[in-house]
Chain A
C-alpha cells in the first residue's frame, strides 16, 4: 500500500451528509473482478446532478474530498473504499464517518480526517478556489490563508498509514513467527504441513 504522510491539492467541496455506500458505489458495480475501474461508478448518481463538483473540470483529479456527517454509512461493502481510491481520492475530511467505512478506508490506505463542522465549513469555502494540505505526521490541515486545524487519529492507524502498512503487510512483518510455526508443524504434523498429490 502507498504510504501517506502529506495529501496536498485541490479538494472536492462536496459537504453532503449521510452519503451511504450505495451512493458511493451502486450495487450494479459489485460484480466487477478488479478493485480498479470502480472510479467510474463512484458517486454515479451525484455525478448525474447538474452543477455537481465531481464533473466540474475545476476539481478534476482532486486527491481530497470534503464531506458531511456520517460519510460512508450503509452496507459494509469494501468496494466503496476501492471506488474512491480509483477516482484518485486518498483523503476524506468530514465531521464524522461510519465505523465500517473508516475501517475499510484505513485497510485500503485512505486517510479519514475528522474535524468539527466549523472547520469543515471553512475548508469548503477555501476548496472552491485554492488547494488544501493535510499533514498526517503533524495531524494538521492547513490552507494558503494561514488556517490550521488539528485532528486526532488512532496512533496505530497513523503508524500503519505513514508506513504504508496494510493488514497483510503487518502480518507479513511477523514472518519470523510464521516461519517458526511452519518449521514446528513440519515436524509435528507433516501430513498437514505439505500435501502431496499421490494419485494421477
Chain B
C-alpha cells in the first residue's frame, strides 16, 4: 500500500480492493447493501433462475419505501390496508417474499424501523463510516455524510452484489468542496448544498467523488451532513464524503448494528485514520465562503437553477451559454414563471416536507419551529409532513411535534418516499406548484406537470404558512 499522502476516498477505496485488472478496473468489496422494492425484483428472479444464493445475506437489509402509500397501513383491527395500484402491490409483495427466501432481513411496512432506505441505513447503524454501501437508488450518496463510500446502482449490479458481494469499478477523480466561515441565521444544510449545486452545476461533479471539507461541515450535525451528501448526485457526482470525526462517532455509538466493546474501539481507531492526509491532493477544488450562502430556492427544472430567496426569476438572456439559455426558456415555460418576478411573490398550492434529503428529526423540528402557533395559508391546498422512518415519527410524536404540525393544518403521514417521486399516491397535480424539501425538481418528478421548488424544511414551513415562497428569516425575526 502506498505511503503517499492519500485522500479519504483513496483510503476507503484501498481498503476494499479485492483484485485489480490490467485495465485498472478493480473488483471492490461491498460492505452493505440496502434493498428496496423497485430495483430488486429482477435481481432476485435472476438469482433464482441461475440457482445462485446471496453470498453474504448478513450484509443486506431490505425495506420497502418507494411506492408504499404514506397513509395508514393497518386498519382498526390490525389488518393490512390493501394497496390500490396493482403494480406497486406486486413489487411490495415480492420484496416481502424475496428477502426472507434469500436470508435477508426484511423490515416490514408497519415496523417501527421501516422508512426510506437512506434514512434507515444510518439510523440503524447499518451504514458505518469507512464502509462501501450500495442501494438501487441514486441518493445512496446520502450515507457519505457518515464518511462512507456510498452510491446508487442498477438492477444488474444489484444482482452482482447479491451474488458476489463485489462490484467492478473504475476509480473516480476527487473533487474538494470547501466551505469556510460562519453560516448566517436561517441558513440550513439544505441551503448549503443548493448553493453548492448552483455554483458547480449539475455536470460539475461528473466523474468525481466529492469530499466536503471546511469548518462548516465539521461543525454540522450528522443529519445535516447526510442532507448535504445526499445531493452530491445533483452536482453530478456519484458519491459524497465527509470525514468521520467525534460528531460521527457520537452519532453511530449505541445504534442497533453499531459495533460494541473492543470492536468499537478498533472501529474508532480506524475511522480516525481515514481523514485526508495533509499534503494529499484533489483533482479539483472549489472554495466557498459560508457568509455568501443565503436561504436558497430553485426556480427551474434543474437542481442547478438556484437563487437566494431575496432574488428574482432570471431571464434566459442572463445566461452566457446558448444551450443553457434554451434550457432556461423551456424551464420557465414549464414552471409558468416570468423573468423578473420576485421569488417571494411565487404562490404555492402544495408543500412537501420529507424525502431522504430532509425527513430526519432535525428537519421535522426545524419545520415545526416555524409552524408553531401559525396556520397554513388558505391558498395552500395540500401540505404534508412525511417522517423518514417510523423511529423519526415516534421521536417527533414524543416531542409533540405532530401536534404542532396538525394544529397548523398540515398532514402528518406514515414514513416513505412519498411525493419525492411520482410512484406512490402522493403526487402534485399538474400545473400546481410545490415547495418541496426533496432533491429533484425535474419535469414531472412530483407528478406529470408538477412544478417543484426545492427548499429547506424551515423554508417549506414558511411557504406553508405564508402561501408563497418566503424568507424564513422574516418569520423568525417576528417570532
B160-A168 in contact (CB<8A): yes
A181-B87 in contact (CB<8A): no
Q: Does B220 contact A (CB under 8 A)?
A: no
Q: Does B181 contact A (CB under 8 A)?
A: no
B46-A171 in contact (CB<8A): no
Q: Does B91 contact A (CB under 8 A)?
A: yes
B163: chain A residues within 8 A (beta carbon):
168, 171-172
- The answer to whether residues A185 and B156 also contact, given A191-B264, A192-B130, A195-B59 and a CB cut-off of 8 A, is no
A168-B165 in contact (CB<8A): no
A197-B156 in contact (CB<8A): no
B27-A195 in contact (CB<8A): no
Q: Does B263 contact A (CB under 8 A)?
A: yes
Tell me how far the C-beta of A27 lies from the nearest C-beta in chain B, rounded to whole angstroms. 13
A34 CA / B48 CA spacing, docked (Å): 11
- The answer to whether residues A178 and B18 also contact, given A192-B128, A196-B257 and a CB cut-off of 8 A, is yes
A169: chain B residues within 8 A (beta carbon):
50
Q: Which 3 A-B pairs have the closest CB atoms?
A: A33-B41, A191-B259, A191-B267
Residue of A nearest to B18 (CB): A181
- Chain B residues 81-137 with CB under 8 Å of chain A are 87, 90-91, 94, 105, 126, 128, 130-131
- The answer to whether residues A178 and B263 also contact, given A167-B156, A168-B159, A192-B130 and a CB cut-off of 8 A, is no
Q: Does B19 contact A (CB under 8 A)?
A: yes
Q: Does A107 contact B (CB under 8 A)?
A: yes
A190: chain B residues within 8 A (beta carbon):
259, 263, 266
Interface size class of B (residues with CB under 8 A): 35 or more
Tell me how far the C-beta of A38 lies from the nearest C-beta in chain B, rounded to whole angstroms. 10
Tell me how far the C-beta of B41 lies from the nearest C-beta in chain A, rounded to whole angstroms. 4
Interface size class of A (residues with CB under 8 A): 20 to 34
B126: chain A residues within 8 A (beta carbon):
195
A197: chain B residues within 8 A (beta carbon):
105, 256-257
Residue of B nearest to A199 (CB): B256
A32: chain B residues within 8 A (beta carbon):
87
A181-B263 in contact (CB<8A): no
Residue of B nearest to A196 (CB): B257
A107-B156 in contact (CB<8A): yes
B18: chain A residues within 8 A (beta carbon):
174, 177-178, 181
Q: Does B258 contact A (CB under 8 A)?
A: yes
B41-A34 in contact (CB<8A): yes
Contact partner of A191 among B87, B164, B266, CB < 8 A?
B266
Q: Does B223 contact A (CB under 8 A)?
A: no
A197 CA / B18 CA spacing, docked (Å): 26
Contact partner of B131 among A31, A167, A192, A196, CB < 8 A?
A192
Tell me how far the C-beta of B14 lies from the nearest C-beta in chain A, rounded to whole angstroms. 12
A171-B29 in contact (CB<8A): no
A68 CA / B75 CA spacing, docked (Å): 56
- The answer to whether residues A33 and B94 also contact, given A171-B27, A171-B166 and a CB cut-off of 8 A, is yes
- The answer to whether residues A35 and B168 also contact, given A167-B156, A198-B260 and a CB cut-off of 8 A, is no
A35-B45 in contact (CB<8A): yes
A172 CA / B163 CA spacing, docked (Å): 8
B29: chain A residues within 8 A (beta carbon):
178, 181-182, 185
Q: Does A121 contact B (CB under 8 A)?
A: no
A198-B41 in contact (CB<8A): no
Residue of A nearest to B256 (CB): A199
B319: chain A residues within 8 A (beta carbon):
none
A171: chain B residues within 8 A (beta carbon):
27, 160, 163-164, 166, 168
Contact partner of A167 among B49, B128, B155, B160, CB < 8 A?
B160
B31: chain A residues within 8 A (beta carbon):
192-193
A167 CA / B50 CA spacing, docked (Å): 13
- Chain B residues 296-334 with CB under 8 Å of chain A are none
Q: List 8 A-B contacts (CB under 8 A).
A: A33-B42, A36-B45, A168-B160, A168-B164, A171-B164, A172-B163, A191-B267, A196-B259
Interface centre among B19, B94, B270 (most CB of A within 10 A): B19
Give me 5 other A-B pairs in contact (C-beta within 8 A), A107-B156, A167-B168, A168-B46 excluded.
Answer: A31-B87, A177-B19, A185-B29, A195-B58, A199-B255
B32: chain A residues within 8 A (beta carbon):
195
A165 CA / B218 CA spacing, docked (Å): 47
Q: Does A78 contact B (CB under 8 A)?
A: yes
Q: Does A23 contact B (CB under 8 A)?
A: no
A198-B256 in contact (CB<8A): yes
Q: Does A1 contact B (CB under 8 A)?
A: yes
A133 CA / B430 CA spacing, docked (Å): 54
Q: Does B15 contact A (CB under 8 A)?
A: yes
A195-B156 in contact (CB<8A): no
- The answer to whether residues A177 and B27 also contact, given A33-B94, A168-B163, A198-B257 and a CB cut-off of 8 A, is yes
A78 CA / B42 CA spacing, docked (Å): 11
Tell me how far the C-beta of B459 lies from the nearest C-beta in chain A, rounded to whole angstroms. 34
A78: chain B residues within 8 A (beta carbon):
154-156
Q: Does B289 contact A (CB under 8 A)?
A: no
Tell me how far the C-beta of A84 lies from the nearest C-beta in chain B, rounded to whole angstroms. 15
Residue of B nearest to A172 (CB): B164
- The answer to whether residues A194 and B58 also contact, given A31-B87, A167-B168 and a CB cut-off of 8 A, is yes
Q: Does A48 contact B (CB under 8 A)?
A: no
- Chain B residues 138-177 with CB under 8 Å of chain A are 154-156, 159-160, 163-166, 168
A133 CA / B159 CA spacing, docked (Å): 33
Contact mask A1-13 → B, CB, 8 Å, 1/0?
1000000000000
Tell me how far the C-beta of A86 lies from the nearest C-beta in chain B, rounded to whole angstroms. 12
Interface centre among B29, B31, B87, B270 (most CB of A within 10 A): B29
Q: Does B52 contact A (CB under 8 A)?
A: yes
B160-A174 in contact (CB<8A): no
A194 CA / B59 CA spacing, docked (Å): 7
B87: chain A residues within 8 A (beta carbon):
31-33
